[in-house]
Amino acid sequence: MTTTRSILICEDEAALRELVRVSLGDGFGFIEASDGVEALELAREHKPDVIVLDLMLPGLSGLDVLSRLREEANQSNLPIVVISAWSDARDEALAAGADRFVLKPFLPDDLRAVVQELVP
Q: 79 preceded by cis ω (within 30°)?
A: no
Percent of the chain with pLDDT over 70: 98
pLDDT at 2: 53
Gap between the Cα atoms of 55 and 31, Å rounded: 17
Gap between the Cα atoms of 31 and 2, Å rounded: 19
Facing residues of 82 across strands? Answer: 53, 101
Q: 120 preceded by cis ω (within 30°)?
A: no
Gap between the Cα atoms of 83 and 55, Å rounded: 7
Domain count, the chain: 1
Q: Is the pLDDT of residue 53 over 60?
A: yes
Structural domain including 84 reads: 5-118
Tell me the whole-structure pTM to 2 decimals.
Answer: 0.94
What integer is the mean pLDDT of 7-27?
A: 94
Gap between the Cα atoms of 29 and 9, Å rounded: 10
Report the Cα 107 to chain-centroid distance in Å.
16
CATH number for the domain that contains residue 18: 3.40.50.2300
Q: Is the pLDDT of residue 1 over 50?
A: no
Determine how many CB atoms are found less than 10 A away from the CB of residue 76.
10
The residue type at 109: D
pLDDT at 3: 64
